[in-house]
Structure 1
């Protein structure tokens, strides 16, 4: 297929860039005085470049019929938008009526006259009234005759001095001639045409309630009324007048008043005519800018290829491209794509001041000149083809827009330093077809008018129309769709409504940076160690804080702030201590430090901690998602506080984006924090602890339930324990080397401390295992301590068990032997039981008992009838372990005592400290102040 430049060649003035902008503005006075350019002055050249629209054809037919006395409307008002072809239509009537050449030399006129059933069009006299040619208060000369008014000008142009004599008195006094005088004037010089252009511009200049040489405001309105009434009575006379469509074109308040008055006056007898339809504009522009198409087959081949490509893409393009008539639109608009005309006529003409036909011609002339010079090889001139990098083309568009668009184009749309150019240089698949720049140009053409035009109902272009403005046969729509998505995330001034992935999303450029770019700029402001880390911690507390297996969840806190107690705790490691299968040093070092230290002191209960670590591969995504949420949050906050001024649409967008970011963050956190790290030790003799990693499932239920599942499946935390496992641990570490009894409380304490011991969920789990095991003789016997070498309250194979600090778990054979000895021994022989605590090397606390002859004089506690009523206890606590020991005493003694609601418990703490060399001032001052703040009854120094 041939590119447009090989099929449709522009006119020479367009090719050379020698055209003048003023040449696009038809001036009927210049034509009437013989001073216009050839394109307008010569009737043949004018009709060669003029496409006779349906409206113009009807008008010219009526003019021909009227001049021939065969009917037709006497008065026609041409009222269209600015640049809608009013003056151009008057020129067509002018050339038809003056008949300075044969009808056969006027392209399209002969066929028009034939359809009207006429043989010829009589040559007529022409009077042209141009409201911008003369000033109402300044008389002008026609030869030796001074003329002051419009009616004097009409008379002179129709019949010279003889005709002027009919209205000379009215001209001198500035009063309107009557209908009869004007009728006489028209009849004498019929067939005749009166063309009135820019009449509002003339009448609005009259001062209110004041007459000048050109008459008065009222006398001129009276003249217009008399003229329209008179022309109805003359069969071969016709009046054409152009009036602006909008109040803005009328000018001042005075001009608007004149427009309203003239509309009422012409409204009595006029025939309204709307000249140019949008589809007809295709041919108007093509004829004015291009030579006739040289190769019709090439044009048809290109248009057919476009139509077929659109059908192949289907729903990715607008619905009207799937219809047969779109091929016809392509043919009529060739070599310009219909989408260019649609955007210019539907969108740009809503801007006050953009001329409907003239503005399009001026723009496209500059565009075509630049494309021709740049050797553009596109098949059609499309929205994506517009050379916005060219100053002339860009200025023609930005002239009608508010200030600030030049910066938008240079940065985001087109040019060597634009983001689109950078993206194409980075991505070859975009650069091959210029996808990024084409997308940006298309969006600009379709959305820039909405920044100033009030008539645009919906802002921006949808995805289908954007792709339509770029896609050529042989290209894939997916490339442009991908480029659009990349630009939506990258460009500063490109806005989108809603989800960018939806087909219904609309895109537009604005001179204000879009909120997404504002968000991207703000993302970089947040500090990783404070704001980002704090936001992640906040989300983690909500998502992980409800883990049911743990008594406490600690997020990003120093090891000194993690209590060293019996509670089972989940420690969430900070982002910088990430884990990866191939690199786990940072996470493992952090775990070992926490299980080894409690601030400046060593940690004793290391087996109560499990760790949650972030995945290294997901850290960057988590950081980015967190920054996005923080950025949108700051934007919404600034809007509420009035620090950021945005419109309602952007405000709603910011709130929606914030919600989306906040909703997405917990998912990203969960995907990142997916590693459960558990410190372990296979045997007491291992030189140092090991760490095992378990992956969490990042989908499905809650994080807490997933952690609980992994802990249960891998026996990281034991919620239900069988007495057989308890017996096995007792045999492994406690019932050996002559020791056959172990303190149950000591065993539980060892499970808190040593990593090779089972990690029980709570003391209750051990109590349940002891209770289940004590019911039979298969596992262990129980007793409540030793007094004078005797087991107290020995039970083996039954009985209730109270798990307290005195409870002993006795090896089954030793328990059986002691029980047998207790029954067989005579009453006079006492049993001797010796219990001595012993420590397994580097292992748990072990309380062992040596079997002897049981004493029958020492009945078990259960046989004592009298219950003790008072408990006194005292202990000397080493200062080095005071914190741990006091907590232990509170948990394991005081809490048990207070469990009886009838008990009255009183605690007295005595502190005695001696300083051989005397106490220092700093220590004395600190102790005294702390004693007062803590409310000590006595705090004396001696």
Structure 2
């Protein structure tokens, strides 16, 4: 099925869509809810619980509060101490709405299961006291009707029971002295069940000093009150106190604030209950409920999550280890439509920054992200780190607000936006541009590294985590890996070392490298470096010679097959062929100042017109990095260890980039040909272009494959093709023979003839063709009108391709064969039959035949025997065949028999395996007899 983007499945809330959210809307304000001036999402209990995800921490806390209100247990004092923005105030609001009971508990989403677990059927309404340290003034009494409330304990009493309750502690309030725990216990018991919510205590108490007495009392009296209150609440079974304290000294503020925090931690620590803060997994649902109205198609959402999970499992080690676990699919479902990696980075990394609010900060940032992505029509399957619209000023400002000064140019120059280098790279390279690979990679690195720079001992994020934040199902991870390497080579503020990547506000060595790039001379340094790179990439392979940017005068004009890599200015493009054609034609027509004859032995390799400039730039970068590393090692420049490692890593990466760039650039194989029209060859030389695969492991083998597949290089040739060419170009009525050596020379010269790998290809073709009378006759030479060593259809081996060897047109060979057949011998003369008279004794007797003249004896048999060294037997036997046996086989009337006698002896004996192998081989080779004997 087709996967649908997040925007078609998850609908954001109206305020997120319209961008009408405000900072205050994300800040749960307990006082405003208490006074009835908060927005409905916080002030309306039903709407509040509808948008609130009951985390494990909130569930445990509400369970304890319910039991406390009903007097069936629970913790009397609960301290909420988490990082800034960790959900303390939001948790207090949940308690506030539940305890007040203004609406039935059954109408509050997520609350009935808590009541059921606590065994509570009817939750009684409780008096709720809200003391907000940021609203109280130490020296400005708060008028409540006709009463002026001065202190926290006066405010507590007023909220519990109005004037009646206040009268019980009026003296303590007016004098600024703390009431005792017994007085507070009686007060709480009188108005129980009651819930006391105290927020921002440190912010209030730190304003007192030890010497000055204010309307709200002194520092000591406020501390004493808190101690007494915790003890009093403990003594009343249906009273509960929740107080929030900052987690860090920085949140506590001044030195007095830190001292206040330590003191309160001491007193609360004696009676407090533990409260579990929001876990990262729970944050998924918190954010989803607050920012999205719901999932319109659960099946489609699950299909997207499954496709991501399958991608991670199928790709194995390319992604972090946790993605290989089956539970990661559930994390994707829980976090949908936001990728879990976004939450992991924000909660693990960004929450460590000063002033970044764990929940509130994430909500505010993601609201801006979602608004911009929705407005821009983003069609990603999930909102990922690579999706963050850092080109948007509002989103960018929200992120860099928490970072040190100096991040603006980093984002603008290196990461995102119309003027960013990532955008420029994608506009030049459609492979990256079609996926926004560079921008997605840069955004992911920024999200994962900005909060940790330069405070971490181990900086940056691993490549596998960059891929996790960038790649979607259906996309190739290789494109994003290549984009990461391209950025490492191009960006000013991106650093890398030991497989980790990070952005920093300090420029890396990129600027120094960029300056050095300009120093290198193209002719003296760039071209030689490119030449060396091409030489390493292209081995000899099937070629007798490989020439890289070599002058034409230095390339021999012989029958050797040669590959010539044209210099980079002679590039080739489908719409720009002239540069390569002009240069290649110059090689073909001349060898220096002399004409070149054997043109058909040259094949050319040319640079791609679109890539040659980029390759030149890569080489400049490589040389610049090499000079930096060299200067560092020679103590000509000073670098810290991290920068030195970065320089060496960048040099190695630049070398790999150049190696890859050479293969991607030198990918055009140009084969010279001449067209034949109307039986005549064109005088113009054409170049047949063939693209070679730049990803081939061994480029020279890929070149050989392309040549062979397109018949631009013949390694095996059928005799019928040789015969056809001979008939077309060389045999005619007047000339029925062709010198084999001359034919080979012609194939080396003329571009309209086939390009044979070497002379052995022609030799094998001729030898194969001699087995039949269909193609040609063969002669070792010619004496007048007589062919020497003539054969026709009888097979010949071990021939020598030279000008003495003649290829004879088949019909002419047949006529010649007929002419040299020996005449048939005459029939023998029968002796005369004697007549009857002679038989009877009469008549003249016949004369005796005359004596035959003496005839000299003809030598018509040869026998030779030689003992051959078994080590060099192969070579020796070949020489015997060439020097002796061929002399006999060249005579049509001679018959030759060759017998090989083998005798082997080993005093230790021959084992069974050897005997079996020898017998089997002898049987195949028809060696008979072949026996083993014993003494």
TM-score (norm 2): 0.60
Q: In structure 1, which of residues 151, 174, 177 is the aligned counterpart of residue 176 of structure 2?
A: 174
Measured on the aligned residues, the alpha-carbon RMSD in Å equals 3.7
Return the alpha-carbon distance in structure 2 between the equivalents of residues 659 and 282 of structure 1. 41
Alignment correspondent of 2:493? 493
**Maintained 8 Å contact 2:618/2:657:** no
Cα distance, 1:143 vs. partner? Answer: 1.6
* 3-state secondary structure, aligned to 1:416: coil
Please show how residues 819-838 of structure 1 align to structure 2 within 5 Å.
Answer: none
Q: In structure 2, which of residues 21, 24, 29 is the aligned counterpart of residue 27 of structure 1?
A: 29
Aligned: 1:654 with 2:656 = no
Alignment correspondent of 1:880? none
Cα distance, 1:167 vs. partner? Answer: 1.2
**Maintained 8 Å contact 2:50/2:108:** yes
Aligned: 1:278 with 2:271 = no
Please show how residues 892-911 of structure 1 align to structure 2 within 5 Å.
Answer: none
Q: In structure 1, which of residues 439, 442, 464 is the aligned counterpart of residue 441 of structure 2?
A: 439
Return the alpha-carbon distance in structure 2 between the equivalents of residues 659 and 37 of structure 1. 58
Cα distance, 1:648 vs. partner? Answer: 3.8
Cα distance, 1:512 vs. partner? Answer: 2.1
User: CA 1:127/1:282 → structure 2, altered by over 3 Å: closer, same or farther?
Assistant: same
Please show how residues 90-109 of structure 1 align to structure 2 within 5 Å.
Answer: 90-109=92-111
Cα distance, 1:534 vs. partner? Answer: 14
**Maintained 8 Å contact 1:636/1:654:** no
Return the alpha-carbon distance in structure 2 between the equivalents of residues 508 and 654 of structure 1. 14
Instruction: Provide, for residues 478-532 of structure 1, a one-character-per-residue CA deviation record: whole Å limited to 9, x for no partner.
Output: 121121121211222211114xxxxxx1111112222245313322135679999
Return the alpha-carbon distance in structure 1 between the equivalents of residues 473 and 619 of structure 2. 40
User: CA 1:640/1:53 → structure 2, altered by over 3 Å: closer, same or farther?
Assistant: farther
Instruction: Provide, for residues 23-78 of structure 1, a one-character-per-residue CA deviation record: whole Å limited to 9, x for no partner.
Output: 10111001111111000000000000000001100000000000000000000000
* 3-state secondary structure, aligned to 1:458: coil
Alignment correspondent of 1:513? 507
Aligned: 1:61 with 2:79 = no
Return the alpha-carbon distance in structure 1 between the equivalents of residues 339 and 654 of structure 2. 41
Aligned: 1:289 with 2:291 = yes
**Maintained 8 Å contact 1:204/1:254:** yes
Return the alpha-carbon distance in structure 2 between the equivalents of residues 288 and 194 of structure 1. 27
**Maintained 8 Å contact 1:491/1:517:** no
Return the alpha-carbon distance in structure 2 between the equivalents of residues 616 and 160 of structure 1. 94
Alignment correspondent of 1:345? 347
Please show how residues 108-257 of structure 1 align to structure 2 within 5 Å.
Answer: 108-257=110-259
Aligned: 1:389 with 2:391 = yes
* 3-state secondary structure, aligned to 2:74: coil
**Maintained 8 Å contact 1:250/1:256:** yes
Q: In structure 1, which of residues 405, 425, 438 is the aligned counterpart of residue 407 of structure 2?
A: 405
Return the alpha-carbon distance in structure 2 between the equivalents of residues 210 and 368 of structure 1. 51
Return the alpha-carbon distance in structure 2 between the equivalents of residues 140 and 395 of structure 1. 39
In terms of mean alpha carbon deviation, does 214-223 or 443-452 score higher? 443-452
User: CA 1:421/1:642 → structure 2, altered by over 3 Å: closer, same or farther?
Assistant: same
Alignment correspondent of 2:302? 300
* 3-state secondary structure, aligned to 1:400: coil
Please show how residues 397-796 of structure 1 align to structure 2 within 5 Å.
Answer: 397-451=399-453, 454=455, 456-498=456-498, 505-526=499-520, 628=622, 633-634=627-628, 648-654=641-647
Please show how residues 63-82 of structure 1 align to structure 2 within 5 Å.
Answer: 63-82=65-84
**Maintained 8 Å contact 2:497/2:645:** no
Alignment correspondent of 2:665? none
Cα distance, 1:209 vs. partner? Answer: 2.5
* 3-state secondary structure, aligned to 2:245: strand
**Maintained 8 Å contact 1:629/1:662:** no
Return the alpha-carbon distance in structure 1 between the equivalents of residues 630 and 33 of structure 2. 61
Instruction: Provide, for residues 422-462 of structure 1, a one-character-per-residue CA deviation record: whole Å limited to 9, x for no partner.
Output: 2222222222221111111111111111126x4x4531111
Q: In structure 1, which of residues 47, 50, 60 is the aligned counterpart of residue 52 of structure 2?
A: 50
Instruction: Provide, for residues 895-919 of structure 1, a one-character-per-residue CA deviation record: whole Å limited to 9, x for no partner.
Output: xxxxxxxxxxxxxxxxxxxxxxxxx
**Maintained 8 Å contact 1:639/1:651:** no
* 3-state secondary structure, aligned to 1:273: coil
**Maintained 8 Å contact 1:532/1:627:** no
Instruction: Provide, for residues 645-675 of structure 1, a one-character-per-residue CA deviation record: whole Å limited to 9, x for no partner.
Output: x65411343366679999999xx9xxxxxxx
Cα distance, 1:204 vs. partner? Answer: 0.8
User: CA 1:534/1:181 → structure 2, altered by over 3 Å: closer, same or farther?
Assistant: same
Return the alpha-carbon distance in structure 1 between the equivalents of residues 197 and 65 of structure 2. 12
Instruction: Provide, for residues 277-319 of structure 1, a one-character-per-residue CA deviation record: whole Å limited to 9, x for no partner.
Output: 1100000000000112121111111111111122121211111
Cα distance, 1:581 vs. partner? Answer: 9.5
Cα distance, 1:229 vs. partner? Answer: 0.6
* 3-state secondary structure, aligned to 1:268: coil
Return the alpha-carbon distance in structure 1 between the equivalents of residues 370 and 40 of structure 2. 22
**Maintained 8 Å contact 1:79/1:274:** no
User: CA 1:521/1:338 → structure 2, altered by over 3 Å: closer, same or farther?
Assistant: same
Alignment correspondent of 1:362? 364
Return the alpha-carbon distance in structure 2 between the equivalents of residues 13 and 222 of structure 1. 45
Return the alpha-carbon distance in structure 2 between the equivalents of residues 4 and 627 of structure 1. 41
Instruction: Provide, for residues 856-889 of structure 1, a one-character-per-residue CA deviation record: whole Å limited to 9, x for no partner.
Output: xxxxxxxxxxxxxxxxxxxxxxxxxxxxxxxxxx
Return the alpha-carbon distance in structure 2 between the equivalents of residues 640 and 210 of structure 1. 67
Return the alpha-carbon distance in structure 1 between the equivalents of residues 231 and 631 of structure 2. 68
User: CA 1:582/1:664 → structure 2, altered by over 3 Å: closer, same or farther?
Assistant: farther
User: CA 1:2/1:507 → structure 2, altered by over 3 Å: closer, same or farther?
Assistant: same
Instruction: Provide, for residues 147-175 of structure 1, a one-character-per-residue CA deviation record: whole Å limited to 9, x for no partner.
Output: 11111110111111111111111111111
* 3-state secondary structure, aligned to 1:61: helix
Number of residue-to-residue matches in the alignment: 601
**Maintained 8 Å contact 2:496/2:649:** no
Return the alpha-carbon distance in structure 2 between the equivalents of residues 21 and 431 of structure 1. 35
Return the alpha-carbon distance in structure 2 between the equivalents of residues 150 and 367 of structure 1. 41
User: CA 1:306/1:624 → structure 2, altered by over 3 Å: closer, same or farther?
Assistant: closer
* 3-state secondary structure, aligned to 1:469: helix
Alignment correspondent of 1:371? 373
User: CA 1:137/1:369 → structure 2, altered by over 3 Å: closer, same or farther?
Assistant: same
Cα distance, 1:630 vs. partner? Answer: 5.6
**Maintained 8 Å contact 1:633/1:658:** no
Return the alpha-carbon distance in structure 2 between the equivalents of residues 520 and 362 of structure 1. 39
Instruction: Provide, for residues 557-593 of structure 1, a one-character-per-residue CA deviation record: whole Å limited to 9, x for no partner.
Output: xxxxxxxxxxxxxxxxxx99xxx998799x9999xxx
Return the alpha-carbon distance in structure 2 between the equivalents of residues 389 and 655 of structure 1. 32
Return the alpha-carbon distance in structure 2 between the equivalents of residues 79 and 359 of structure 1. 17
Return the alpha-carbon distance in structure 1 between the equivalents of residues 422 and 351 of structure 2. 28
Unaligned runs of 5+ in 1: 499-504, 537-574, 591-614, 669-698, 700-942
TM-score (norm 1): 0.59
* 3-state secondary structure, aligned to 1:447: helix
User: CA 1:405/1:325 → structure 2, altered by over 3 Å: closer, same or farther?
Assistant: same
Return the alpha-carbon distance in structure 2 between the equivalents of residues 182 and 285 of structure 1. 40
Instruction: Provide, for residues 702-755 of structure 1, a one-character-per-residue CA deviation record: whole Å limited to 9, x for no partner.
Output: xxxxxxxxxxxxxxxxxxxxxxxxxxxxxxxxxxxxxxxxxxxxxxxxxxxxxx
**Maintained 8 Å contact 1:493/1:517:** no
Return the alpha-carbon distance in structure 2 between the equivalents of residues 40 and 509 of structure 1. 39
**Maintained 8 Å contact 1:307/1:327:** yes
